[in-house]
Structure 1
Amino acid sequence: METLTQYSPLSIQGRVPTLHDSRCYRLSRHVQLRPEHDGFVAESLITGHCERLPNAASVRLLLSLMDPAQPGALLAPLDARRASVVRTFLGRCLEGGLITEIADDGTADEDGILSLAHWEPHDLAFHLRSRKGRNPRPVGATWHLADRLPAEDARRPEHGSVLGTIPLDKPDLDRLKAQDWTLTRALEERRSRYSIAPLSLQALAHLLFRCCRVTAARKEAMAGGVLRKVHPSGGSLHSLELYVVANRCIGLARGGYRYDPFAHTLVWLRQDDPDMIELLRDAQTATRDLKDLPSVLLIVASRFRRVTRKYQSLAYHVILQEVGTLYQTIYLVSQTLGLAVSALGAGDSDRFARVFNTDFFAESSVGEMIVGGAEK
């Protein structure tokens, strides 16, 4: 048993905890256990401290504290040498946040830390592991998977049969540059808006062109190509793909589509069916302000390998940052087009993968927005 990180005991309460044989301790709710190399590693999501557990005995020792126990009771059956090793181990676990003291009334020491009360373990893990500081792993553009996984091409290949390809109208950018809303007006008037009114295919086409098209592309062997769009992306990788579920879009058949940002076309992938309805129903359920199924549902998916090959520790963080930039871009352009748009808090990535026949771990949904026409 050994520590894997050089750390200073981080006590939010202003004191370094000391192990006492007669007091009770249990496993922290902010600890994660995972297999690594030839054993296991226990990691505190509070301090970032990692402890290697090289064998079954060390794992059993830590897990024996799933329920409150006194170190004295654990050490009593051991000889002096082994007791010293185990006491040192438990002391490191306490200082590193892997275990927490339990008071006589059954409350955990860590539960008295107010600034921890609002964290769910998975959120805290995401925050810790995508930032420097308490994260012991390398963070950034290390290309850590480049020698193991081939690069994905910047242009998504089409898998399977398609029902058709719909060319889309393009807006007059020169006219827009001269006559469109100012950025300040769009920012100040931007709101989440809800409408079940239909929108035209032209309005949808102009929204996609102004927000999602590829404006420049460059070959880059390491990354599989880099792209430029009107919204930023980490490393110019642009892993995001936009899918359209059309319900009330004048000039567009109901069904599921993928936007091709290179050709500015919609690739028709699926006709209207019960699975499509469920995607729309999920979107309606996500907001209390929509009286019927949305007119159009935009689903943002990511081809994860585009990002994960390059970025270590923060790859998903980078993907969600890009989702945010795309959301804001769609919000602002929709405002100028008179469309009602709202981002949704969450969606069903499994259902998306089933409907659009993608591999959940290779390409699945990471964001959703609903779009409606202007109410008359």
Structure 2
Amino acid sequence: MAANGTAEQEKNATMTRQTLYRRRRDTLVEWGENGKLVLVDCGAWRKFAIKPELLELLSLLDHPRSARDVHGAWASSSRPEDEVRRLLERLAEAGIVCRDAPEDDGPAPEADEAEARRDGAGEVPGPGGAPPGAGWTPYELAVHAQASRSGVPTRLRGTPPAARLLHPEALERIELPEDTAPPSRPLDRVLADRRSIRTYAPSPVPLPLLAALFARTARVRGYLPPLKYEQTQRAAPSGGARHSLELYLVAREVEGLAPGAYHYDPFGHALERLAPWSEELDDLQRRTLCVPMQEDQPPPAGLYLTSCAYRTGWKYQGMALSLIYRDTGCLMQTLSLAGTDIGLATCLTGRVESPMTPSFLRPYRDRLIHVGNMAIGLPAPISAAHRLVPLTADKEPERA
């Protein structure tokens, strides 16, 4: 009996020694509420109290290592190798580390059902069946997991943030004309015609068209009761009617408007001039528009979209960023469709700055975050290389 037990122990020791261990890619370390370190499993949104000694161990596991290798590298620990091996197995069972392929391709320890679903690297396949870590960072997973667990709106105490942002430092206020653009076309035609256009006619954008774009997409139609909650009605939907997004126009060539940076006031349908044209604005357009669009020629105008994040966070603490991104997508689509409808050429880009770089927004860096951009111009003739290739029922298009 004792001999059989010894043989079984030796077999298990051999199998375990062959196993490699690696820290899960989707784990982060943060400060807990008590000021102590907490390990966060971003994939399953679990939290573990963690001691500094264990943190040192996990730092050694950024690549697959055997228990013997870890024992030799763990300088601050006096644990014997067998104890290190048992600790690694406990961490693997808890899902904090992964078991990788054995060193000599021998049999790995038996896995439970969850482990059986893991890929060859020892981790559960990512969203959509993608390889673990493909296109995702632990931070993105953490934001997604947090948003999925904070779906109940909770109004915070105190006065809600104002729905209107004004710039008292503005150099000038320009009242915009009422919407004089052509009547809207049928929605199905606008949807069919919408596309991202990256090259523009060498002509300034008419100010009345820009005014119509703002009026049809972002202008405030009124307040929603109760008024004390600062909820407004606009064309694009927004979580809780919080409407945190603020539009800044970078005008290079707009007919009837001095080149420079402007803020759109959606309550008064007016532009607040914040800065004259400068090399800084030229560089801003090139970084946020030209580089993402892979174009050398900057557009006549562009939008720099920001969010007054606390407007959303006041009601949706814990999922504010997720809602802001969704609100941004809704507004971007609304802008793109309205631009198509009135004859503007537009292209949205996702290049985001953190922290924001424009000097005209320096006083607001603690209140605003940058969430996106849109190039605006008049459409140029489409070259053959950029024409749409229609789908056919009987033949796939040839691919170069």
TM-score range, shorter-chain basis?
0.7 to 0.9
Offset from partner CA, 1:296-346 (integer Å, 9 cap, x none): 011110001111122133211111111111111111111121110110121
The aligned amino acid for 2:196 is S
Give the distance between the partners of 1:95 and 1:170, measured in 2 at CA.
65
1:337 matched to 2:346:
no
User: Measured at CA, do residues 96 and 199 of structure 1 come closer, stay the same or move farther in structure 2, by a change above 3 Å?
Assistant: farther
Letter in 1 for 2:122: D
- SS of the equivalent of 1:331 reads helix
Give the alignment partner of residue 171 of structure 2, picking from 155, 158, 163: 163
In structure 1, how many angstroms separate the alpha carbons of the residues matched to 2:220 and 2:62?
53
Shift of 1:350: 3.4
- What does 1:350-369 correspond to in 2, within 5 Å? 350-369=355-374
Counterpart residue identity of residue 193, structure 1: I
Alignment identity in percent? 26
Maintained 8 Å contact 2:300/2:376:
yes
Q: Structure 2 matches for 1:159-198, cutoff 5 A?
A: 159=168, 161-171=169-179, 176=183, 180-194=184-198, 195-196=200-201, 197-198=203-204
How many Å separate the matches in 2 of 1:266 and 1:365?
19
The answer to whether 1:207 aligns with 2:204 is no
- Taking the aligned partners of 1:374 and 1:112, their CA distance within structure 2 comes to 43
Q: Is the 8 A contact 1:302 1:319 kept in 2?
A: yes
What residue number does 1:115 align with?
A: 131
**Structure-2 separation of matches of 1:50 and 1:105:** 34
Name 1:131's counterpart in structure 2.
148
1:21–1:72: 8 Å Cα contact kept in structure 2?
A: no
Match of 2:148, SS state, is coil
Q: Is the 8 A contact 1:358 1:364 kept in 2?
A: no
Task: Give me the whole-angstrom Cα distance separating, in 1, the residues matched to 2:192 and 2:234.
Answer: 24
Which residue type is aligned with residue 338 of structure 1? G
* SS of equivalent to 1:311: coil
Taking a change above 3 Å as real, the CA distance of residues 141 and 250 of structure 1, as seen in their structure-2 partners, is same
Bigger Rg, structure 1 or 2: 2
Match of 2:247 among 242, 246, 252: 242
Change (3 A) 1:112 1:221: closer
Report the secondary structure of 2:355's partner residue. helix
Equivalence for 1:277 = 282
Over the residues paired in the alignment, what is the CA RMSD in angstroms? 3.2
Shift of 1:354: 3.0
1:96/1:227 CA distance change after superposition, 3 Å: farther
Q: Structure 1 unaligned segments of length 5 or more: list them.
A: 1-18, 133-137
Q: Could you tell me the TM-score, scaled by structure 2's length? A: 0.75
Structure 1 residues 29-48: aligned runs within 5 Å:
29-38=25-34, 39-48=36-45
- How far off its partner does 1:30 sit? 1.7
1: distance between equivalents of 2:276 and 2:225? 35
Task: Provide the C-alpha distance between the structure 1 equivalents of 2:372 and 2:172, rounded to a whole number of angstroms.
Answer: 25
Q: Which runs of 5+ in 2 are unaligned?
A: 1-14, 106-119, 382-400
- State whether structure 2 residue 55 is matched by structure 1 residue 59: yes
Separation in 1, partners of 2:70, 2:210: 69
Kindly tell me: are residues 181 and 105 of structure 1, through their superposed partners in 2, closer, same or farther at Cα, counting changes over 3 Å?
Answer: farther
- Note if 1:154 corresponds to 2:154: no
State how far apart, in whole Å, the 1-side matches of 2:208 and 2:23 are. Answer: 58
Pairing 1:142–2:144 present? no
Task: Please give the secondary structure, in 2, of the residue aligned with 1:350.
Answer: coil
TM-score by structure 1 length?
Answer: 0.79
Cα offset, 1:150, TM superposition: 5.0
The SS at the match of 1:258 is strand
What do the CA deviations read for 1:91-143 (whole angstroms, capped 9, x no partner)? 553234321123328984339885325232133333333224xxxxx443134
Separation of aligned partners in 2, 1:362 and 1:150: 16
Q: Of residues 100, 103, 124 in structure 2, which corresponds to 1:102? A: 100
Q: Is the contact made by 1:140 and 1:312 (CA closer than 8 Å) also made in structure 2?
A: no
Q: 1:342–1:216: structure 2 CA closer, same or farther, 3 Å change rule?
A: same
Q: Partners of 2:353 and 2:305 in 1: how far apart?
A: 12
Q: 1:192 to 1:25 in 2, by over 3 A?
A: same
Which is worse superposed, 116-125 or 260-269?
A: 116-125
Does residue 25 (structure 1) correspond to residue 21 (structure 2)? The answer is: yes
Task: Give 1:249-264 correspondences, 5 Å limit.
Answer: 249-264=254-269
Assess, with a 3 A threshold, how the Cα gap between structure 1 residues 317 and 73 changes in structure 2: closer, same or farther: closer
Change (3 A) 1:72 1:340: closer
